[in-house]
Amino acid sequence: MIFIIFGLSVYNTTLSILYLIGYKSLILLFQPFKEIVILAMLAVLVLELKERIRFHVIDYCVAGYFLYTGLYVFLPLGDFGFMDRLLAYKNTSFFALIYFAGRLIDPRTLQISKYFHFILIVAISAATLVIYEAASDQHLQSLTGYSDYTFDFLGQQQEGDYGLTWTFQRSSSGLKRFASFFSDPLEHASATLLSICVIAALFTKKNNDFNPTWLGIIALAATLISLFFSLSRSSTVSYFAIIYIYALITHKKYILNTSHALIAFGFIYIGIVLENTDLYDYLISTITLQEESALGHLIAWIEGLTTIISNPFGVGLGMSGRVAASLGSTIGGENLFIVLGVQVGIVAVLLYIFIHFALIAYSYKWFPHLDGKEKMVALCIFLLKVGITLPLFTADLGSFSYITYINWFLSGVFVNMIMRKDIDNQALT
């Protein structure tokens, strides 16, 4: 957990710095390190099993997804060879192994509160750095060898006005978007969603009172700072949706009433004060999908959906997502469901969607009946799964290691917890 939290948040930045200072050979060793950590952990957990595991329906679905998509490694579909298909398989399906690492570990050995505090430290550190970036009007990635590293190892071209990639600016205005020490502004924005979920889970007490410490208050302010400077529309909507949904399930009327008042004020402000301004035009063009970036997403989605309809069982691993993007030929754009559908078809997409919403349903169901760290994990998973639903449509969220690893590891831990709870309840009856 310490490696996942502190290591993966700075993973790509660390690799780009290694490239900058001339340790290119080390990158080949460090790049697969995160996968090696999970595989080693999983192997140890399997070897040390001392009791028979009772499987949950989510376990069967995750395993089924992993095995089904694994078939596509050996099917000669698409334009890529075996090694490229294997790499694409890792990108689309490795989350299953992360899940089972969490599923098999004994949750009694995990100090969830400590790890959640570490996530808050990452959030505060990210906001501190982004304040410096904004004050100096310079991306950290301009200093770390990011462009050369991503071009050499990931095939990403230098684009945009700042010698990085288009994601570091708002395409319509050229306004800078900052990534702090994350891989890009979209991962930075998605990390704020994880942080706000952790804050809610960590400081919600038995009676659903929200009682943050000074560290929690600072972290909450830090998430707002990061959200403001990363300029992600889907993450911004999701961030406030998480707060609203949290207020609903914990019956926080003052948050709900404040939210309703702010929404009403926002509509009035936009309609009266911002009318005939550039910001008003930007908001309207975004909502109507006429803004350049939103329109680009729509066109890519239509292309991807057309491919899926024509090839419901997929066109082969690597034909969408990071492998194809490295060659400039990806189909479907930044949408996790379409990226999956293009490669491995609608069966895998339906399995993924079922797993995602089943975790939402089970965490919501169990949240009122748990306490302590079990309640923390249930609330965090519920809010996080709900919160990332919209970004799943606007980004290939699976490529963001920091949030992906924490999300799926905690998902496995949660299912482990409720299965143990269920066994204990049956023993009592």
Smallest Cα–Cα separation from 262: which of 289, 282, 244, 274?
244
Residue 381: per-residue pLDDT: 96
Q: What is the pLDDT of residue 84?
A: 85
427: which 2 tokens?
């023993």
Residue type, 66: F
CB atoms within 10 A of CB 49: 9
Separation of alpha carbons 235 and 391, rounded Å: 6
- For residue 40, the Cα-to-chain-centroid distance in whole angstroms is 23
Q: What pLDDT, on the 0 to 100 scale, is given for residue 172?
A: 57
pLDDT averaged per 10 residues in sequence order, the chain, 429 residues? 90 87 82 90 89 89 95 86 88 93 90 94 94 88 81 70 74 75 89 94 87 92 90 86 90 76 62 53 54 65 85 85 65 80 92 96 92 92 93 80 94 92 55
pTM: predicted TM-score of the whole model, two decimal places: 0.89
Q: Each residue of 335-372: b (16+ CB within 10 Å) or e? A: bbbbbbbbbbbbbbbebbeebbebbbebbbebbeebee
The CA distance from 238 to 385, in Å, is: 10
Give the residue carrying structure tokens 């750095």: 129
| Gap between the Cα atoms of 199 and 195, Å rounded | 6
How far is C-alpha 266 from the chain's CA centre?
28
Phi first, then psi, for residue 207 (nearest 5°) are -90, 20
pLDDT for 429:
45
pLDDT of residue 314: 86
Alpha carbon distance, N-terminus to C-terminus of the chain: 35
Confidence (pLDDT) at 301: 77
Compute the Cα dihedral for 185, 186, 192, 195 and give only its sign.
negative
- For residue 427, the model assigns a pLDDT of 45
Task: State the Cα–Cα distance between residues 323 and 412, nearest whole angstrom.
Answer: 27
Q: What is the pLDDT of residue 300?
A: 74
Cα-trace Rg, the chain: 22
**3-state DSSP call for residue 78?**
coil
Q: Where are the domains of the chain?
A: 2-251+289-428
d(CA 249, CA 265): 24
> Using CA atoms, how far apart are residues 18 and 14, in angstroms rounded to an integer?
6
Report which DSSP code applies to 231: T
